[in-house]
């Protein structure tokens, strides 16, 4: 594996004592047993404010954890002068949104008022990565942050029980949708794929570009522990 594909030094422990005063970054939590990324979020720092925004079935916007298993890499496209506004964006989403857990992402986003926008109404279902994509896409106001259709229901080993639970939840919220319509947008973008995307410099983020560097990113995260 060619680790020169990425700069490993850009991956920083969330509890580092030498952090810059202002930044927004993608964060992942590693499983202490497997040392694989199991969870994701957005970490942000602005002077004395240091927060982690994430979703595990419940939406959290708390002080960044002093935890040896969290790492982050900066989102360079969010500029220093935009960080206060980004923190406010997360605070509004925390107050106004009502996400539910499910392996579903239809290219949706949260707007500046914290409202969820999707091509299909009443489908505010997402994973931890989905929260990050919905939040970031709404802030940068880009039509395509991720080319989300690169990921399909066949990717990333979703179990049938998870797929079924997602369909049942969405059908309960929007009975007019068919199973076929829902399954078009059932997908799972992994936490380490989201994290690896921070190394890519152009949007939309493409899966085949992440595939080139994902093994190097996974090894770099292991090397940091």
- The CA–CA distances, whole Å, from 11 to 78, 158, 219 equal 17, 28, 12
Per-residue pLDDT of 43-73, as tens digits, reads 999 988 899 999 999 999 999 987 778 999 9
- The CA–CA distances, whole Å, from 181 to 103, 129, 184 equal 14, 22, 5
pLDDT at residue 17, as a whole number: 85
Domains identified in the chain, total number:
1
Asked whether 69 and 225 are in contact (CB, 8 A), the reply is yes
pTM, two decimal places: 0.95
106-110, 148-152, 161-165: range with lowest mean pLDDT:
161-165
Question: What element of type H or E holds 94?
Answer: helix 83-96
Task: Answer whether residue 52 is part of any domain.
Answer: yes
| Structural domain boundaries enclosing 190 | 7-224
The pLDDT of residue 156 is above 90: no
Task: Answer whether residue 2 is part of any domain.
Answer: no
* Mean pLDDT to the nearest integer, 194-199: 98
Per-residue pLDDT of 81-140, as tens digits, reads 999 999 999 999 999 999 999 999 999 999 999 999 999 888 999 999 999 999 999 999
Task: Answer whether residue 116 is part of any domain.
Answer: yes
C-alpha–C-alpha distance, residues 182 and 213, integer Å: 30
Task: Answer whether residue 187 is part of any domain.
Answer: yes
CATH value at residue 91:
3.90.1720
Q: What are phi and psi of 111, to 5 degrees?
A: -85, -175
Residue 188 structure tokens: 């799972």
């Amino acid at each position: 594996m060619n680790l020169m594909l990425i700069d490993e030094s850009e991956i920083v422990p969330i509890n580092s004592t030498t952090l810059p005063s202002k930044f927004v970054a993608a964060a992942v939590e590693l499983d202490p047993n497997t040392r694989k990324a199991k969870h994701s979020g957005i970490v942000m720092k602005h002077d004395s404010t240091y927060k982690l925004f994430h979703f595990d079935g419940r939406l959290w916007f708390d002080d960044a954890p002093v935890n040896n298993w969290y790492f982050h890499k900066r989102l360079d496209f969010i500029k220093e002068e935009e960080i206060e506004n980004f923190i406010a964006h997360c605070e509004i989403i925390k107050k106004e949104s009502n996400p539910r857990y499910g392996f579903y992402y239809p290219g949706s986003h949260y707007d500046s008022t914290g409202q969820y926008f999707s091509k299909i109404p009443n489908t505010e279902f997402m994973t931890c990565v989905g929260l990050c994509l919905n939040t970031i896409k709404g802030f940068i106001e880009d039509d395509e942050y991720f080319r989300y259709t690169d990921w399909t229901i066949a990717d990333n080993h979703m179990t049938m029980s998870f797929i079924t639970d997602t369909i049942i939840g969405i059908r309960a919220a929007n009975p007019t949708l068919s199973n076929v319509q829902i399954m078009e947008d059932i997908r799972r973008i992994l936490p380490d794929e989201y994290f690896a995307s921070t190394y890519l410099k152009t949007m939309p983020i493409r899966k085949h570009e992440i595939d080139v560097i994902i093994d190097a990113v996974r090894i770099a995260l292991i090397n940091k522990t």
